[in-house]
Amino acid sequence: MGGLQKKKYESGSVTNYVSRNKARKKLSLSLADFRRLCILKGIYPHEPKHKKKVNKGSTAPRTFYLLKDIRFLLHEPIVGKFREYKIFVRKLRKAYGKAEWSGVQRMKENKPAYKLDHIIKERYPTFIDAVRDVDDALSMSFLFSTFARTGKCHVQTIQLCRRLSVEWMNYIIASRSLRKVFLSIKGIYYQAEVLGQTITWIIPYQFAHDHPTDVDYRVMATFTELYTTLLGFVNFRLYQTLNLVYPPKVKHTKCASIKCVFKDMHLHISYQKLSALSASLARTVPLVEDEEAELDLFPAEGVSDRQLSYIRMCCTLCRCFGGQVSWDKSLCIGSTYDETDETITHHIVDRPTIDKQYINRYYIQPQWVYDCVNGKILLPVEEYFLGVTLPPHLSPFVEESEGDYVPPEKLKLQALQRGEKPQDDDEEEEEDDDDDDEDDQSEDEDEANLAEMEEKRAQGKSLSVKVTPGKVKPENRMRAEQEEKAEEKRLAIMMMKKKEKYLYDKIMFGKKRHVREANKLAAKRKAHDDSNKADKKKKKKKC
Amino acid sequence: IGYGRGVFIEITHRCRTRFKVALATSENFQLSAVTSVCARLSQTKKSLFSDQSSAWFISSPSCVMFLWRTVKWAVSLLVFITFSVRSQDIRNTVGNIPMEWYKDYPHIGYDLDGKKIFKPIRNKDELDEFLDKMENPDYWRTVQDKMTGADIRLSDEQVDLVHRLQQGKFGDVNFNEYEPAIDFFSNEVMIHPVTNRPQDKRSFIPSLIEKEKVGKLVHAIKMGWIKPRRPKETTPQYYDLWAKEDPNSILGRHKMHVPAPKMKLPGHQESYNPPPEYLLSEEERLAWEQQDPEDRKLSFLPQKFACLRAVPAYSRFIHERFERCLDLYLCPRQRKMRVNVNPEDLIPKLPKPKDLQPFPTTQSLVYRGHSSLVRSISVSPSGQWLVSGSDDCTVRFWEVSTARCLKTVEVGGAVKGVAWNPNPSICLVAVSYDDTVVLLNPGLGDRLVCTATDQLISSYEEPEEVMDQSVQWAVAEGEGHEQGHRLILKHPKAVRQVTWHGKGDYLACVMPDNGSSLQVVIHQVSKRRTQNPFRKNKGLVQCVSFHPIRPYFFVATQRYVRVYNLIKQELTKKLMANCKWISSMAIHPGGDNVICGSYDCRLAWFDLDLSTKPYKVLRHHKKALRSVAYHRHYPLFASGSDDGSVIVCHGMVYNDLLQNPLIVPVKVLKGHTITHDLGVLDVTFHPTQPWVFSSGADGTVRLFT
């Protein structure tokens, strides 16, 4: 037979994949640059269907990229920029070594820079795509905006992140698109609906970060680079849709009274005012002020810088839902009215007590605001007064399907939402207790009778024979039917094929585990409630 | 200073006597020596450089640099090596060599004139040394010069110098290190110049070259060749990137793009104030801590805080973001179609058992009497009597409808098998125990039939030629006859199973013995003849059976069922049971279907017309199957297992060859208690009614109707 012998691993799926190192060499980039490129261009590895074949018979763990992806990277202008930057660094090093300071200066001025605009356009060809993917960008930029100048990243990046996150928050307020908020132990989750897309992001609590050593900040910085660009463009477009000026400006600029000599100073103050999130933004087309029913006024009062951040969070919420907010003037810039204002309805305080209290307003803890937002109703304020043990704060993201465990607080909230009046739990509980007692008593009586009879029989005494009319045991038809059906099912399961049986068992196992978990939670809750009740009773008795 | 193989330094010092230093004539020239010299020099640096009388001869320019640097350096180091200026100018010229080389010589080196320097004559031992130490008041300031070997008494000045240097001070007493610094070039503009030198001419005549250069630049600016540098943009510029959204510009690869899944949303347990049931108990918390971080279901410990201000920072926040980043660019993405299977859809749609009636549903009678496990049962062809053989060495006859034991026959061993003759005109029961098979006439039912049977047996005439048979036939006499024993067949090995042919003349016995040629024998009762149908048996025979209509014979070994044609005397089929160990077998009354029960919980249904592989394998029992049976008229079959249950299935066989048999389990019958890990040992159907009998290890026989 003629013809050349076919060589192994030269055709088929092997030709579609390329290992990471090969790809790197093809692009003639260092590993770090390759990584950056992949992050920026959104190229991720692919898992071949037959790994051993693609790996040319070896089973070594290797990362594979699609050859098409790598070819696509080949004509990316940024690759050239990376190389330029490498050369720039080399030249700069040389100039430093030779102590050519003027050369260093000149080179630094001509530092090669690149823009990611085209990549954003390419990765997100439509605006909706970009909005859909903005979750991670927001979380990252909010995280970076909380960083201090510790050298973990460039100061410009931090400032940019702060600016973009404040802009985003302002948009959320202006568009009133916030839907859910959740105070978790990790940070605060926000969920907004922007142009029909549900976007969730998390903001860490305002603390100094304990920077971990096992985190590669270069990777994070690369992501942030991409995300800030994306977020900037998204913000721009979103502001445009609302007819707002971008970059945002505060509408009623009282700053005019502050004669700012330096431009920078002025910028700083306006940024601060903006980040206070308390004032509405200037519009490109002036709107006729629509008369909004002013829901509430929430002055918050705080002391430390940390509380300042809380105020901002609270403020975002309230303003998202049409409230007005202010705080003590001495705290920070941007307060719109005074604490002594008579029209204030709710006063948010996060401390055990407060000295001077006004009669015509409620003093409540901040959780009330969050719970109201999640419940979409004004909850009764009694449970949230100062110094009161707060009711549990539930996650608004959990949507219980059938068979899941629903915490009783959620049930209560749902009842409130339906407009049912909340019943007084304590009374109900007491009634329940009484019922239980009665049941117990009757059961006890029965048992006592039986025991008596048994005793007599044991002693050999002739029982006083008495014929009592027998009770007709009602045949429970429903139950019988159910049993029959269950048996039918059992028998049918016997006839399943092995493969299907395996799948069926697996599904049923998962379902059972689900039920078990739900039951466990319910049992735990019951135990907790019981112990609580017992404690209460003890206290009552003592009284 | 000369530079070459050695360095000579000649310094005329203003305040000291002139001295001459000869240094390192050999390669042993050491830096320390130089530095020490320089240290000395540096003390008097000021005066040195202003002093014109110092003579510097430097042979190489780099040496100047080097020396200058060392001078600067030495000021801070203050390395001290004594170059004592001595009155007598004995200088050893050997250089910095180990002096022990001169140990054995009377001299210690050579002076400048090349004459030997002799060691001072001394023969001090330790005692002298000690005495010297005690007596000599200057002992502490006496130093031995290594180069000359002479003792030198340090002068007060020198001792003072040593002390000063030890304290890290300047060697020179007069040197003031805190002299007020005179800042010549300060911000104060003085009226007088620092130097009085007249200005150069070039300083006030404009340079022609510069003029030319400036002219060129001016021209270039005028012509617009040079533009002012654009101010750099520090803040990124944003604009409407999606102003012209063109659906055609979407790359093909974008359609293949798999967007990263969003992060999981937090549940109630992540709340800062969760409901109490979501908090972990002490044990759960311990378990959580001991788990590997990768195995944990929750990546954090749920915690409860009384108020918002008490919530601390989350320490793993940056980690989590970073891990998300890693996921985004390192994880391969794949679109996995998740098939959302409804488990109800997986269950096969079968006809309802209700529609498949009649079949036994309830336990109606229990036949008690045996004291040990009942291995085998059989029903008379009329359906009126039931025979059961037990390990307590008895065979009991029961009336089916009343559960009364009519007769008990004792035999000489644990009964392994009983079989009622299927011929209704003969009343015989084959009972096997140990190596014996007894044909009993229970004397139940129609008298005529019983007597006819007895007559049939007694009417046997010995054939003329006596054949040599492996089995001995004997007629029971005496007490045995009265009990009902009619014929006794002694086998060479223990008999496990007996089974009748449908006509009631032939009787097959199984004597399982691996590899033996005599495992199955067929007896002809009317002629009292025994045949060994097989020259060789493959494997261990488990059970045998006659085909109900045709002359076929089924032999089940451990894994296969072989079907033999008795007339042609050949193997027609070999059925592969796909199980490890066949325990029992039953033939459908139609003769085309076989079921096999096996010890690995399987029941295999063979359709002989279809294939030699099972048409269906049921795994409905939890434990080993012991017995299977077909009903003679109804489309029912039953299987009894060690899990104590009897499962009755509907097994419809159609006359139409194209339609496969329909198998539907219809009832699970429970009643037997499990004793010694054994449940049901034998099942058999009533010949006419849809009833099933089962015998169990608990010594009972039960009837399900």
pLDDT digits (tens, 9 = 90+) for B377-424: 999 888 888 999 998 888 898 888 888 888 888 888 889 889 988 888
Residue in B with minimal Cα distance to A500: B346
Banded model confidence at residue A446, pLDDT cuts 50, 70, 90: low
Where residue B398 sits, what CATH number does that domain have?
Answer: 2.130.10.10
Find the range with the poorest average confidence among A21-30, A85-94, A449-458, B23-32.
B23-32
Kindly state whether A150 is in contact with chain B, defined as any CB-CB distance less than 8 angstroms. Answer: no
pLDDT for res A332: 62
Q: Which residues lie below 8 Å from residue B658, measured CB to CB, with a gap of 6+?
A: none
Do A323 and A193 share a structural domain? Answer: yes
Instruction: Please answer yes or no on whether A390 and B307 come within 8 Å at the CB atom.
Output: yes
Mean pLDDT of B554-573: 88
Task: Tell me the range of B9-18, B213-222, B564-573 where mean pLDDT is highest.
Answer: B213-222
pLDDT tens per residue, range B464-474: 666 667 778 88
Residue B323 has pLDDT above 90, yes or no: yes
Residue in B with minimal Cα distance to A41: B329
Chain B contacts of A404, Cβ < 8 Å?
none
Mean pLDDT of A427-444: 47
Query: Beta partners for B396?
Result: B388, B408
ipTM of the complex: 0.83
Find the range with the poorest average confidence among A254-263, A503-512, B92-101, B493-502.
A254-263
Task: Give the count of alpha carbons within 13 A of B241, CB side only.
Answer: 28
Do A357 and A214 share a structural domain? Answer: no
Do A164 and A193 share a structural domain? Answer: yes
Residue in A with minimal Cα distance to B650: A491
Kindly state whether A365 is in contact with chain B, defined as any CB-CB distance less than 8 angstroms. Answer: yes
Query: Beta partners for B386?
Result: B379, B398
CA angle A195, A200, A205 (to 5 degrees): 135
Banded model confidence at residue B2, pLDDT cuts 50, 70, 90: very low
Total of domains in chain A = 5
Q: Which DSSP symbol is given to A93?
A: H
- Rounded-to-integer distance, Cα A368 and Cα B307, Å: 11
Instruction: Please answer yes or no on whether B270 and A493 come within 8 Å at the CB atom.
Output: no
CA distances from A315 to A177, A318, A331, B271, B279 (A): 14, 5, 14, 20, 30
CA distance B315 to chain A (A): 7
Do A97 and A46 share a structural domain? Answer: no
Instruction: Please answer yes or no on whether A507 and B267 come within 8 Å at the CB atom.
Output: no
Instruction: Please answer yes or no on whether A507 and B341 come within 8 Å at the CB atom.
Output: yes
Task: Tell me the range of A415-424, A465-474, B135-144, B457-466 where mean pLDDT is highest.
Answer: B135-144
pLDDT tens per residue, range A276-286: 665 666 655 43
Chain B contacts of A122, Cβ < 8 Å?
251
Query: Beta partners for B695?
Result: B682, B701
Task: Tell me the range of A433-447, B98-112, B457-471 where mean pLDDT is highest.
Answer: B98-112
Do A384 and A318 share a structural domain? Answer: no
- Rounded-to-integer distance, Cα A279 and Cα A289, Å: 14
pLDDT for res A253: 44
Mean pLDDT of B278-299: 90
Tell whether A7 is covered by a domain.
Answer: no
Do A236 and A146 share a structural domain? Answer: yes
Kindly state whether B663 is in contact with chain A, defined as any CB-CB distance less than 8 angstroms. Answer: yes
Tell whether B318 is covered by a domain.
Answer: no
Banded model confidence at residue A63, pLDDT cuts 50, 70, 90: very high
Query: Beta partners for A202?
Result: A189
Residue in B with minimal Cα distance to A187: B314
Final residue of a domain: which of B87, B112, B136?
A: B87
Mean pLDDT of A380-394: 87
What H or E segment, with its residue span, contains residue B447? Answer: helix B447-458
Residue B428 has pLDDT above 50, yes or no: yes
pLDDT for res A251: 63
pLDDT for res A96: 95
Tell whether B538 is covered by a domain.
Answer: yes
Q: The tokens 């903006």 sit on which residue?
A: A274
Count the Cβ atoms, other than its own, within 10 Å of residue B336: 6
pLDDT tens per residue, range B337-360: 877 888 888 888 888 888 888 888
- Rounded-to-integer distance, Cα A34 and Cα A76, Å: 12
Tell whether A410 is covered by a domain.
Answer: yes
Residue B344 CB-density burial (10 A; 0-12 exposed, 13-18 middle, 19+ buried):
exposed
Residue A302 has pLDDT above 60, yes or no: no
Do A315 and A367 share a structural domain? Answer: no
Chain B contacts of A521, Cβ < 8 Å?
277-278
CA distance B239 to chain A (A): 6
Find the range with the poorest average confidence among A57-71, A357-371, A420-434, B636-650.
A420-434
Residue in B with minimal Cα distance to A306: B309
Banded model confidence at residue A422, pLDDT cuts 50, 70, 90: low
CA distance A496 to chain B (A): 6
- Rounded-to-integer distance, Cα B554 and Cα B543, Å: 8
Do A357 and A330 share a structural domain? Answer: no
pLDDT for res A294: 38
Tell whether A427 is covered by a domain.
Answer: no
Residue A267 has pLDDT above 90, yes or no: no
Share of chain B above pLDDT 90, in %: 16
pLDDT for res A201: 94
Tell whether A18 is covered by a domain.
Answer: yes
Tokens of B4: 């070459």
pLDDT for res A309: 56
Where residue A369 sits, what CATH number does that domain have?
Answer: 3.40.50
Instruction: Please answer yes or no on whether A209 and B313 come within 8 Å at the CB atom.
Output: yes
pLDDT for res A193: 93
Contacts 24+ apart (CB under 8 A), B452-458: B452/B425, B452/B426, B453/B426, B453/B427, B453/B428, B453/B486, B454/B486, B456/B426, B456/B526, B457/B486, B457/B487
Find the range with the poorest average confidence among B90-99, B492-501, B601-610.
B90-99
Do A110 and A170 share a structural domain? Answer: no
Query: Beta partners for A191?
Result: A180, A200
Tell whether A455 is covered by a domain.
Answer: yes
pLDDT for res B494: 87
- Rounded-to-integer distance, Cα B58 and Cα B10, Å: 12
Do A173 and A240 share a structural domain? Answer: yes
Banded model confidence at residue A207, pLDDT cuts 50, 70, 90: confident
- Rounded-to-integer distance, Cα B123 and Cα B118, Å: 14
Tell whether A292 is covered by a domain.
Answer: no
Which of A305, A351, A494 to substitute to test the interface with B, most B CBs within 10 Å? A494
> What average pLDDT does the structure give for chain A?
80
Residue in B with minimal Cα distance to A112: B232
Final residue of a domain: which of B47, B69, B87?
A: B87
Banded model confidence at residue A488, pLDDT cuts 50, 70, 90: confident
Banded model confidence at residue A512, pLDDT cuts 50, 70, 90: very high
Q: Which of residues 352-381 of B touch A (CB under 8 A)?
A: 352-354
Do A238 and A251 share a structural domain? Answer: yes
Which structural domain range is residue B13 located in? 2-87
Mean pLDDT of A360-389: 85
Tell whether A123 is covered by a domain.
Answer: yes
What H or E segment, with its residue span, contains residue B696? Answer: strand B692-696
Banded model confidence at residue B74, pLDDT cuts 50, 70, 90: low
Total of domains in chain B = 2
Residue B459 has pLDDT above 50, yes or no: yes
DSSP for B508-566? EEE---TT-S-SEEEEETTTTEEE---S---S---EEEE-SSSSEEEEE-SSEEEEEET
Instruction: Please answer yes or no on whether B274 and A350 come within 8 Å at the CB atom.
Output: no
Name the residue among A117, A182, A246 with its Cβ closest to that of B241: A117
Final residue of a domain: which of B87, B116, B145?
A: B87
Instruction: Please answer yes or no on whether B329 and A210 come within 8 Å at the CB atom.
Output: no
pLDDT for res A280: 64
Mean pLDDT of B514-529: 82
Residue in B with minimal Cα distance to A399: B267
Do A476 and A529 share a structural domain? Answer: yes
* Cβ–Cβ under 8 Å, residues B626 and B583: yes
Which structural domain range is residue A373 located in? 343-393+403-421
Tell whether A430 is covered by a domain.
Answer: no
Instruction: Please answer yes or no on whether A489 and B267 come within 8 Å at the CB atom.
Output: no
Q: Where are the alpha helices (DSSP H) in A400-497?
A: 408-418, 425-459, 477-494
Instruction: Please answer yes or no on whether A130 and B254 come within 8 Å at the CB atom.
Output: no
